[in-house]
Structure 1
């Protein structure tokens, strides 16, 4: 990330700096707890004041599926799922105590099993030697069930979208295959596999509600998202997932 102005995070030496927000105390408490319980694949909190919050920089490559070949690889896919499982297992140790003590950007969901990352996507991890080695950008963290967080991760990593133009990910069969690899590496139970798609749809619907609410509050980031048609993409993907649900579930449970 390059130094910038406004609401975008920027790098300052070995720190990542972004404007302080209501979520900041909770995010910093989460990061501190993760390291206290032995999870080293997240930034360290480095303090905040009335204007800025700071966390340590995690070295490695960053990027999204369309612009980073290694991020599209099976090694990255498997290691991402395994790391998400490690993160969930760690945050489960303190989720309930943390959930009740802080405000979060996204609404808490029941049951409170973990502190969801909230946006576990390729653009929010770091890659070293083809493996996902760290998680960044915890601004969307919030309490909830494991499968709530996993559902959005699957949506982004498969990716489960009708508009994918990336070779090797642009067919339903390829997306189902990548989803299967991800949930196998995560260790999702057989029973939960049959309900995963319903949770993906529910998660996207909740995201739409959040975006529209924040845009109505005048938050420029979300007003811009709506102007650029992000809501239309999510609605199209919801329709796509529902249309293909029988085939997808068969591929995940068979």
Structure 2
């Protein structure tokens, strides 16, 4: 990851600058901006959503010229060879300033993949594919959030021009995320091992039902 981050940082991408690794600790420089729970107020507008799409596209494009070290091992299985995907491009893993996504951090789940893997994952969060009123309120969004407009904003920001069945792709990526937790948990990684032991992957399957329900809603 430090090799990849160095490559991106040296090209001017707003990612954590790698500072070094010792026996027990890796050090990277903080990406300035609001992240984590503080990100939610920034991602409400369509311009904000578009900025996240543009940021993800810049990072994807820049990874294509990176040459992976021969001894590199990915944390999760590769999905393709188009670009290096971030693996978890949600609002909380972006740095924000005045409603604009200005940085991308937490690259632990990066892997070679097709661009759609990250795009679909991001759309799950930015659309969002969530109907719980309390969750939407926490995100600063109304219950009748205009999901199609947010989808278009993200894809326009990214520059996506190909035909796309958004619901199918989000469903596929949601299942992939659940499968990855199971895979990592069985390999003994934490916190995934605890999540698997507590039965969370089965509970997360309800996300797929919510996503499918939104397809039916839009068709009606």
Report the TM-score, using the length of structure 2 for normalisation: 0.85
Instruction: Indicate the SS of the match to 2:132.
Output: coil
State the Cα distance separating 1:233 from its structure 2 match.
5.1
Where relative contact order (Cα < 8 A, 6+ residues apart) is larger, the structure is 2
Match of 1:74 among 25, 41, 46: 46
Q: 1:179 to 1:227 in 2, by over 3 A?
A: farther
- Counterpart in the other structure of 2:170: 200
Are the equivalent residues in 2 in contact too, given 1:39–1:87 (CA < 8 A)? no
Q: In structure 2, how many angstroms separate the alpha carbons of the residues matched to 1:61 and 1:125? A: 8
Match of 2:18 among 45, 48, 68: 45
- Counterpart in the other structure of 1:83: 55
Are the equivalent residues in 2 in contact too, given 1:62–1:126 (CA < 8 A)? yes
Runs of 4+ in 1 over 6 A off after TM superposition: none
Are the equivalent residues in 1 in contact too, given 2:40–2:91 (CA < 8 A)? no
Q: 1:132 to 1:154 in 2, by over 3 A?
A: same
1:154 aligns with 2:123: yes
Q: In structure 2, how many angstroms separate the alpha carbons of the residues matched to 1:79 and 1:218? A: 37
Equivalences for residues 74-113 of structure 1 within 5 A: 74-94=46-66, 97-98=67-68, 102-110=72-80, 112-113=81-82
State the Cα distance separating 1:176 from its structure 2 match.
2.6
- Counterpart in the other structure of 1:240: 210
- Counterpart in the other structure of 1:10: none
State the Cα distance separating 1:169 from its structure 2 match.
4.8
Instruction: Indicate the SS of the match to 2:19.
Output: strand
Q: In structure 2, how many angstroms separate the alpha carbons of the residues matched to 1:247 and 1:101? A: 48
Match of 2:97 among 103, 128, 144: 128
- Counterpart in the other structure of 2:153: 181
Q: 1:220 to 1:144 in 2, by over 3 A?
A: closer
Q: 1:247 to 1:122 in 2, by over 3 A?
A: same
Are the equivalent residues in 2 in contact too, given 1:162–1:236 (CA < 8 A)? no
Instruction: Indicate the SS of the match to 1:68.
Output: helix
Could you give the per-residue CA deviations for residues 33-57 of structure 1, whole angstroms, max 9, x where no partner exists? 1123x23311111111221111111
Q: In structure 2, how many angstroms separate the alpha carbons of the residues matched to 1:177 and 1:34? A: 30
State the Cα distance separating 1:109 from its structure 2 match.
0.9
Are the equivalent residues in 1 in contact too, given 2:42–2:97 (CA < 8 A)? no
Are the equivalent residues in 1 in contact too, given 2:46–2:149 (CA < 8 A)? no
User: How many pairs are equivalent?
Assistant: 215
- Long gaps (5+) in structure 2: none
Q: In structure 2, how many angstroms separate the alpha carbons of the residues matched to 1:40 and 1:200? A: 26
